[in-house]
Amino acid sequence: MQPVINSRIFIVDDDASVRDAFAWLLRSRRLQSEVFDCAEAFLQHLESMPDAVSEQPACLLLDVRMPGMSGLALFDWLIERQLHLAMPVIFLTGHADVPTAVDAVKRGAFDFCEKPFSDNALVDRVEQALAQSALFLRSRSQAERVRERQTELTERERDVMRLVVAGLPNKLIAERLEISVRTVEVHRSRVFDKMEVKSAVELANLLRDGPG
């Protein structure tokens, strides 16, 4: 798998040797990382850079057990803000923490890696997490563009769009809205132009894949 360009990898672990080893391993695969010795330091970084995980694909390597705020508490904080979707979390665990890590995966963590790690397997999962992050960011960006286009529609154009997407022909739309077929055709054309589509099928797909 090719590295995701302009990605951000965060390593949060209280063990300096683990942080250094992971950072070196990632550099060997042309992946740059930022390291933090505790959850609090990472949170401070996020709060000082609110766009840190919203503009670039990102992944978080997170130790389960740390002094102060635990990795699980940090994960709960990320879930509350849905940041784990843009920044998939891979937990770093000891054998005793495996059941806890499995539960975290059920709640939305990307994966967990048990110590000692397989270097290649870990980096492979990081690259897969970055790919998932990139996909999520693209989907969210598309949804935002769809919402922006919809704000340009008039109320009548929205009415016509809903019925077009429902599969109604122009004649039935005209009867339902008590307007002429010609007026429906005009509104339909404007909807297609503003939503940047060329057919009812394309419009339906756009709305289905965009915002709910």
Cα–chain center distance at 21? 28
Name the CATH topology of 8-143. Rossmann fold (3.40.50)
Looking at residue 194, its amino acid is K
pLDDT at 116: 75
User: Residue 50's pLDDT is what?
Assistant: 67
SS3 158: helix
* Number of Cβ within a 10 Å radius of residue 165: 17
pLDDT of residue 212: 40
3-state secondary structure 16-69: HHHHHHHHHHHHHCCCCEEEECCHHHHHHHHHHCCCCCCCCCEEEEEECCCCCC
Q: Are 154 and 185 in contact (CB under 8 A)?
A: no
How is domain 152-209 classified at the architecture level of CATH? Orthogonal Bundle (1.10)
Q: Write down the domain spans for the chain.
A: 8-143, 152-209
Average pLDDT, 10 consecutive residues per value, the chain (212 residues): 72 91 89 93 87 81 92 94 93 81 90 82 92 92 90 94 93 94 95 93 83 42
pTM of the model: 0.78
